Structure 1
Amino acid sequence: MNYFQRILSLLCVFALFAICNAGNPHAFNVFTGEVITIEPTVSDEAVETESASTDAPTIEPVDFSNAVLTISYETTNSEGEVETESIYEGSFNEDFVYVPMENNGRSPDFSEPTDLKISLKISEDSEPMTINTVIDQGRDFHFAYIDHPGPRDEFLLKGSSSQVMNSENKFTVTGHLGFLNNDSLHTTSAFVWATFRNADGDRQSKQFGPVLVEDGSFSIEGDVDRPTSATLYIRNQASFVNATASLVLEPDGHLVVAKLGNQTQEISAVSGTGYHAQLIESWQQSNEYVALVEAWTTEQERARNAPPEPAEASDETEAEGTTDSEEDVADNEEESEADSEDASETEVSVELVDAVEPAEGCEDAVAQEEEEESEPEVQTTAYEYPKWYTLRMEASAFRTEKLQDIAKNSESPHARLLAMQMGVFSPYDDAEEALTVWRSLAESFADDFVATYITPEMERIELVHTRTLNDEALIPGQKVPEFTLASLEGEDVAIYDLVGEKDMVLIDFWASWCGPCIATFPELKKLHAAYTDENFEIVGVSVDDNFEDWSGGVEEHELPWVQLGELKDADNGSPVSKSYGVNFIPKTFLVDSQGCIYRKNIHPNELKTFLVDRYGMDESLVEPEEEPEESPEVSS
């Protein structure tokens, strides 16, 4: 069906239902849907390769023959039970049009805003893709299925998205994104992500949208009962559009997205009034900040387009290209943070081991640590961040400085509160300063408000700070704290009873959702199997949310060592994690039978070296020698 035929059919449908609803004070709702297919982009090199191959795979379009679309909402019956009512349940195609009607020929009455779910299931085996929105009288819904070349297809509203349940607290975020100068705006989406504390004082996140850009524009509506910090995300899988804007959402607030300077990676939202203008626009629109953003984005673009520098061989090192992608920087940033944590721990260890007496019976752990420190270190070149990243950190520091000034000096307590909720003070590095500001804020609000919105923040910072101090105190030569936790079988296990029966024990804090934890399991399994007879043991301490996640993780990864759990749903403040300084996982301690710390945050490769030095090389760990490949015979 071509475009004009579709418009004609829609006009006929509207005319028909306008006649049917004559005299009906309730306007009808119209649901329309379409399919957008993204053709794969192929580089010139790939085209040459594919043209030389007759086996190039073809990408088949999505088959909607068995697709089921469901439009439903929940209602409460006379007995107080929640029931699901379906407005529509049936097929879906690229020219979907539906107007809900009741048996009397009238449209359903949605005089009050109602949560609505639009769910599309492509086949019986596929997971449903769901749009959450709000329906009221007369609102139309246009949604689209985006068929990407890869596996990550999308199903979302087009043009506008509303999740307004209370019109008095309504906010809007709108924008025309023509300034992005992108050919793929028709498949670009926008959503707002807000994090806040609810009426019970619990941290909560909510997403408004996503919505697909239509004719270059979008509109997102929602409601908030108080000013809330949030972030707008602009995304496009096909063209890698990735832009963000900082927001303060307010009741009756209207934010319009705009370009910031001559770049498009960080965009702005303008209101001109309210807390958004005070906390965001006041510094973001300044010439100084715009210049900082333009500097790092320009340098990043230059680095992206720069040809790789030729490698210069030397006797000591092999030069590599100096152009770093965002992924390279992110990876190296994580490694650098890990390295800096390890390095700081090493420095603290050296300083504190000299200044602090080792725990009784732990002299051997300190002696071995000092012996290894005395060995000549292998000189390695520290990772140097690319220039664009350094410039980006300067822009971030400018933002932090301005928000910290608002948090400490603004005459408005609510502005100070919002600035603090935007995380301008690190609980790791600025805990004391953050607590000082929070305590000062607590004097400006009523007790019930403080209990809901301020006390939980102070408790979180105090917990992180306490864990950080405990982490700094647990160094080689000291003993790990005592604890007793339940095993998977429900039996209480005291850590010192367990380590007392072993020569060396690795205490490993982990969780089933932790990717870096899971990545260590294959090597740990090898080491556990190789040295169990030498009285080496591993004790996993799960910090999962509940027993099901914990036991499921152990079963899925077939973990053979001792398992203990300090689960979040126990709601006891996680005293073991707190005493061990567990601010991140995986977190490991290698201890002897006396509980003396020999190593901390030890990598599986380092653990292997330690165990080989202590017990000798186990034959199961010997890597087989690779046999040289035979040269193919050439006939004369």
Structure 2
Amino acid sequence: MIRRWISVPAVAGTVVALCCHGFVLAEDKDPPTKPKAAASEKGDAEKTEKPAAEKKPVDPFAVPEGNDPKVIALFLSRLQRVPVKNRTPEGIIEHLGKLEKVADELLSRDLEDQLLEQAIGMKFQILSLYAQREVEGAEEKQSEFLAKAAEDPRPVVANMAKTYQKMQRVQQIGDLEKAERAALIQELAKDLQEGELNSDEVEFAMMAANSLAELGETEDAVAALNLFAKNIEATGSPNGEKVVSAMLGTARKLTLPGNPIEISGKKIDGTEFNITELKGKVVLVDFWATWCGPCLAELPNVAEQYELYHDKGFEVVGISLDEDREALEEFLKEKQLPWIQLHQNDGAGWGNDNAARYAIQGIPACFLVDQEGKVVSLECRGEVLPKMLEQLLGPAEKKPAAEEKAETPEKSK
């Protein structure tokens, strides 16, 4: 598996958390000073102490001699704990330079594959951080490094370099011409069909599709996801079912705007529900859970809009991804939320049928549905919700209870 800078390998983690470590190497610590014993005899008093031998400073960036994997692994482990002495931008660049020399030294040696993976991952991460800090020539240097490493006679180095090159192309898909994008999608699809299902290739494919969606190329993103899913399914991989489901679910979600949504299940009281029952009303479909902090932070906003717009035809359908039914029921009893709540009482959690249908991988997640039963927005939290409700239902005819209460004393005077 590739050790990517986006998921930071253990060693390259050093350069990401540069300013976060407060550790020093064990060799850098001064030994505790022992108190001198009081002289009890005349002979002891006349003894003179020999001056302690000066300890040579240890260079934490000095790579040990030889290729013993245990020694090198211990060195790398200690290297992670080396703090940045000068935490200025210049000091951090200097620290990165020392780490880069370590990576270069390791790559020059005949090491075990795992150590070479760490070394190339470390080098790539450092060059990425140079680019992020706008060091002149950093991007060119990174490209040159990968091009040279891709020709390395050691398979592990060459293969990882080629994979990093592919990752770069995926990350820069927005800068490619349409024909180049299409070629990259076909390449990624082919990779998914060859050999065992590889988590890196799956991630690259999803990254490419999501980037296309963010660029507004929804049709291309959906086509890519369907192609990826088809190729994975064709391999018959035992691990492919969940990946295919996620890809197809993401494709469904991307095509929701302007189309009907399928939501059904059992309410908290056990009765069946289908969103078609609410046609003619504006509906907020809200995926949430009692353990989700951001979900709970959004509840007051949803409650306020429900109070303002319910009489004008606004409904909310909460879909809880809680695994603990008892915790959910206690929460609902305490908060007295007045809207519809669906829950799949089988411990499904993230495996909830509605969540799986649209590849919900993070909450809170919400969809806003208009009076015709068609989705009008996949983003409807915070200030966006009241604005969209006003567009669909007109201005609110009453003020929130909190504002009315605040105005009451003025009216009584």
Letter aligned with residue 570 of structure 1: A
Distance, in Å, in 2 between the alignment partners of 1:495 and 1:266 is: 60
What SS does the corresponding residue of 1:425 show, helix, strand or coil?
helix
Letter aligned with residue 241 of structure 2: E
Q: Which residue, 262, 267, 272 being the options, matches 1:492?
A: 272
Q: Would the aligned equivalents of 2:321 and 2:350 in 1 still touch at CA under 8 Å? A: no
Letter aligned with residue 475 of structure 1: P
What SS does the corresponding residue of 1:280 show, helix, strand or coil?
helix
Q: Which residue, 413, 427, 441 being the options, matches 2:206?
A: 427
Corresponding residue for 1:535?
313
Equivalences for residues 21-40 of structure 1 within 5 A:
none
CA, structure 1 residues 406+615, in 2 after alignment: closer, same or farther (shift >3 Å)?
closer
Corresponding residue for 2:238?
455
Q: Would the aligned equivalents of 2:321 and 2:349 in 1 still touch at CA under 8 Å? A: no
Distance, in Å, in 1 between the alignment partners of 2:385 and 2:70 is: 58
Corresponding residue for 2:163?
403
Q: Which residue, 375, 380, 390 being the options, matches 1:597?
A: 375
Q: Shift of the alpha carbon at 1:528?
A: 0.8
CA, structure 1 residues 298+428, in 2 after alignment: closer, same or farther (shift >3 Å)?
closer
Letter aligned with residue 578 of structure 1: A
Aligned-residue sequence identity (percent) comes to 19
Corresponding residue for 2:288?
510
Letter aligned with residue 455 of structure 1: P
Corresponding residue for 1:563?
341
What SS does the corresponding residue of 2:249 show, helix, strand or coil?
helix
Letter aligned with residue 403 of structure 1: T
Alignment pair present for 1:263 and 2:95: yes
Letter aligned with residue 525 of structure 1: A
Distance, in Å, in 2 between the alignment partners of 1:540 and 1:505 is: 10
Distance, in Å, in 1 between the alignment partners of 2:18 and 2:361 is: 43
Q: Would the aligned equivalents of 1:427 and 1:461 in 2 still touch at CA under 8 Å? A: no
Distance, in Å, in 2 between the alignment partners of 1:503 and 1:488 is: 21
Distance, in Å, in 1 between the alignment partners of 2:18 and 2:341 is: 55
CA, structure 1 residues 281+455, in 2 after alignment: closer, same or farther (shift >3 Å)?
farther
Distance, in Å, in 2 between the alignment partners of 1:266 and 1:423 is: 34
Corresponding residue for 1:105?
none
CA, structure 1 residues 493+459, in 2 after alignment: closer, same or farther (shift >3 Å)?
same
Q: Shift of the alpha carbon at 1:567?
A: 6.2
Alignment pair present for 1:296 and 2:77: no
Letter aligned with residue 511 of structure 1: A
Distance, in Å, in 2 between the alignment partners of 1:432 and 1:493 is: 30
Letter aligned with residue 560 of structure 1: P
Corresponding residue for 1:545?
323
Q: Shift of the alpha carbon at 1:564?
A: 0.5
Equivalences for residues 3-18 of structure 1 within 5 A:
none
Letter aligned with residue 480 of structure 1: I
Bigger relative CO (Cα 8 Å, ≥ 6 apart): 2
Distance, in Å, in 2 between the alignment partners of 1:424 and 1:277 is: 23
Letter aligned with residue 95 of structure 2: Q
Corresponding residue for 1:279?
117
Deviation digits for residues 43-84 of structure 1 (CA, Å, limit 9, x no counterpart): xxxxxxxxxxxxxxxxxxxxxxxxxxxxxxxxxxxxxxxxxx
Tell me the TM-score normalised to structure 2 length.
0.51
Distance, in Å, in 2 between the alignment partners of 1:406 and 1:589 is: 34
What SS does the corresponding residue of 2:206 show, helix, strand or coil?
coil
Q: Would the aligned equivalents of 2:324 and 2:347 in 1 still touch at CA under 8 Å? A: yes
Deviation digits for residues 432-488 of structure 1 (CA, Å, limit 9, x no counterpart): 797799789x7xxxxxxx9xxx632x2332122111210122112x2112x431222
Letter aligned with residue 272 of structure 2: D
Corresponding residue for 1:188?
23
CA, structure 1 residues 424+597, in 2 after alignment: closer, same or farther (shift >3 Å)?
closer
- Considering fraction of residues, name the structure with more helix: 2
Q: Shift of the alpha carbon at 1:540?
A: 0.4
CA-atom RMSD in angstroms:
5.3
Q: Would the aligned equivalents of 1:404 and 1:424 in 2 still touch at CA under 8 Å? A: no
Q: Which residue, 497, 505, 520 being the options, matches 2:298?
A: 520
Corresponding residue for 2:252?
470
Q: Would the aligned equivalents of 1:279 and 1:406 in 2 still touch at CA under 8 Å? A: no
Distance, in Å, in 1 between the alignment partners of 2:18 and 2:261 is: 58
Q: Would the aligned equivalents of 1:509 and 1:587 in 2 still touch at CA under 8 Å? A: yes
Q: Would the aligned equivalents of 2:350 and 2:356 in 1 still touch at CA under 8 Å? A: no
What SS does the corresponding residue of 2:208 show, helix, strand or coil?
coil
Distance, in Å, in 2 between the alignment partners of 1:272 and 1:548 is: 58
Letter aligned with residue 559 of structure 1: L
Alignment pair present for 1:617 and 2:400: no
Distance, in Å, in 1 between the alignment partners of 2:399 and 2:346 is: 38
Equivalences for residues 123-134 of structure 1 within 5 A:
none
Distance, in Å, in 2 between the alignment partners of 1:534 and 1:470 is: 30
Distance, in Å, in 2 between the alignment partners of 1:295 and 1:464 is: 33
Corresponding residue for 1:608?
386
Q: Would the aligned equivalents of 1:466 and 1:578 in 2 still touch at CA under 8 Å? A: no
Letter aligned with residue 163 of structure 2: L
Structure 2: segments with no counterpart, 5+ residues = 1-9, 30-68, 83-92, 150-159, 168-186, 189-194, 210-224, 408-413
CA, structure 1 residues 475+291, in 2 after alignment: closer, same or farther (shift >3 Å)?
closer
What SS does the corresponding residue of 1:509 show, helix, strand or coil?
strand
User: How many residues end up aligned between the 2 structures?
Assistant: 279
What SS does the corresponding residue of 1:263 show, helix, strand or coil?
helix
Distance, in Å, in 1 between the alignment partners of 2:336 and 2:284 is: 18
Letter aligned with residue 276 of structure 1: Q
Q: Would the aligned equivalents of 1:484 and 1:495 in 2 still touch at CA under 8 Å? A: yes
Deviation digits for residues 218-266 of structure 1 (CA, Å, limit 9, x no counterpart): xxxxxxxxxxxxxxxxxxxxxxxxxxxxxxxxx9896231489843599
Corresponding residue for 1:480?
261
CA, structure 1 residues 280+543, in 2 after alignment: closer, same or farther (shift >3 Å)?
same
Q: Would the aligned equivalents of 1:510 and 1:585 in 2 still touch at CA under 8 Å? A: yes
Q: Would the aligned equivalents of 1:504 and 1:591 in 2 still touch at CA under 8 Å? A: yes
CA, structure 1 residues 278+567, in 2 after alignment: closer, same or farther (shift >3 Å)?
farther
Tell me the TM-score normalised to structure 1 length.
0.35
Q: Would the aligned equivalents of 1:508 and 1:589 in 2 still touch at CA under 8 Å? A: yes
What SS does the corresponding residue of 1:455 show, helix, strand or coil?
coil
CA, structure 1 residues 586+281, in 2 after alignment: closer, same or farther (shift >3 Å)?
same
Equivalences for residues 65-214 of structure 1 within 5 A:
188=23, 214=26
